[in-house]
Amino acid sequence: MALKYDVVIVGAGPSGIFTALELVKQKTDKKILIIEKGKRIDKRHCPKEQTRSCVYCKPYCHITTGFSGAGAFSDGKLSLSYEVGGDLPALIGSNNAQEYIDYTDKIYLEYGADEKIEGLENNDEIKEIRRKAIEAGLKLVDCPIRHLGTEKAQEIYLKIQNSLLDSGVDITFDTIVKDIVVEEGMAKAVVLADAKTKKEEKVLEAETVIIATGRKGADWLQEMCLKHGIDHGAGTVDIGVRVEVRNEIMEKVNNVLYESKLIGYPTPYKNKVRTFCQNPGGFVSQENYDNDLAIVNGHSYKDKKSHNTNLAILSSHNFSQPFNQPIEYGKKVGELVNMLGNGKILVQRYGDILDGKRTWQHELQQSNVSPTLPDAVAGDLGSAIPYRPLINILNFIKSMDIVVPGFASRETLLYGPEIKFYSNRINLDEKLKTNIKGLYCLGDSSGWTRGLMMASVMGVLMARNLVEEEK
Residue spans per domain, the chain: 3-113+149-233+424-470, 123-145+236-421
The pLDDT confidence band at residue 11, using thresholds 50, 70 and 90, is very high
Encode pLDDT of 454-466 as tens digits.
999 999 999 999 9
Q: What is the mean pLDDT of residues 331-348?
A: 96
Q: What is the mean pLDDT of residues 35-58?
A: 79
CA distance to 67, 79, 241, 409, 415, per residue, from 350 (Å): 37, 29, 11, 7, 10
Lowest mean pLDDT among 41-55, 89-103, 338-352, 447-461: 41-55
Give the H/E segment covering residue 171. Answer: strand 170-172
pLDDT at 186: 96
Residues whose CB falls within 8 Å of the CB of residue 219, separated by 6 or more in sequence, listed in order: 290, 327
Q: Which CATH superfamily is domain 3-113+149-233+424-470 in?
A: FAD/NAD(P)-binding domain (3.50.50.60)
Q: What is the mean pLDDT of residues 403-416?
A: 97
Q: What is the mean pLDDT of residues 79-94?
A: 92
Check whether 451 has a pLDDT greater than 80: yes
Q: What is the mean pLDDT of residues 241-253?
A: 96
Chain centre to alpha carbon of residue 62:
15
Check whether 357 has a pLDDT greater than 80: yes
CA distance to 20, 90, 92, 211, per residue, from 461 (Å): 11, 14, 10, 14
Per the CB < 8 A criterion, the answer to whether 425 and 448 are in contact is yes
Measured between alpha carbons, how far is 458 from 325 in angstroms, rounded to an integer? Answer: 25
Measured between alpha carbons, how far is 326 from 156 in angstroms, rounded to an integer? Answer: 34
Encode pLDDT of 133-188 as tens digits.
999 999 999 888 898 877 788 899 999 999 999 999 999 999 999 999 999 999 99
Amino acid in position 53:
S
pLDDT at 270: 96
Query: Residues of 442-460 as b/e, b for ≥16 C-beta within 10 angstroms?
Result: bbbbbbbbbbbbbbbbbbb
pLDDT at 424: 78
pLDDT at 343: 93
pLDDT at 2: 55
What share of the chain has pLDDT > 90, as a percent? 70
Q: What is the mean pLDDT of residues 320-344?
A: 91
Lowest mean pLDDT among 95-104, 143-152, 356-365, 430-439: 143-152
pLDDT at 423: 63
What share of the chain has pLDDT > 70, as a percent? 97
The pLDDT confidence band at residue 1, using thresholds 50, 70 and 90, is very low
* Average of per-residue pLDDT values in the chain: 91
Measured between alpha carbons, how far is 34 from 39 in angstroms, rounded to an integer? Answer: 12
- For residue 416, what are the β-bridge partners? 346
Q: What is the mean pLDDT of residues 237-258?
A: 94
Measured between alpha carbons, how far is 102 from 468 in angstroms, rounded to an integer? Answer: 20
- For residue 100, what are the β-bridge partners? none
Give the H/E segment covering residue 222. Answer: helix 218-228
Lowest mean pLDDT among 74-78, 137-141, 217-221, 375-379: 74-78
pLDDT at 203: 92
Q: What is the mean pLDDT of residues 199-204?
A: 86
Residue 417: cis peptide before it, omega within 30 degrees of 0: yes
Q: What is the mean pLDDT of residues 394-413?
A: 98
Terminal alpha carbon distance of the chain: 30
3-state helix, strand, coil in the chain (%, to 5): 35, 25, 40
Measured between alpha carbons, how far is 272 from 316 in angstroms, rounded to an integer? Answer: 6
Q: What is the DSSP letter of 8?
A: E
DSSP state string for 425-444: EE---TT-B-SSBTEEE-HH
- For residue 421, what are the β-bridge partners? 237
Check whether 397 has a pLDDT greater than 60: yes
Check whether 48 has a pLDDT greater than 80: no
The pLDDT confidence band at residue 198, using thresholds 50, 70 and 90, is confident
CA atoms within 13 A on the CB side of 200: 8
The pLDDT confidence band at residue 81, using thresholds 50, 70 and 90, is very high
Per the CB < 8 A criterion, the answer to whether 103 and 441 are in contact is no
Check whether 279 has a pLDDT greater than 60: yes
Look at residues 332, 410, 331, 340 and name the one whose alpha carbon lies nearest to residue 378: 340
Lowest mean pLDDT among 227-231, 244-248, 288-292, 351-355: 288-292
Q: What is the mean pLDDT of residues 306-328?
A: 90
Lowest mean pLDDT among 110-124, 171-185, 327-341, 426-440: 110-124
User: pLDDT: is 295 or 57 the higher one?
Assistant: 295
Q: What is the mean pLDDT of residues 327-331?
A: 89
Check whether 51 has a pLDDT greater than 80: no
Prediction pTM value? 0.87
pLDDT at 469: 87
Look at residues 269, 242, 239, 422 and name the one whose alpha carbon lies nearest to residue 332: 239
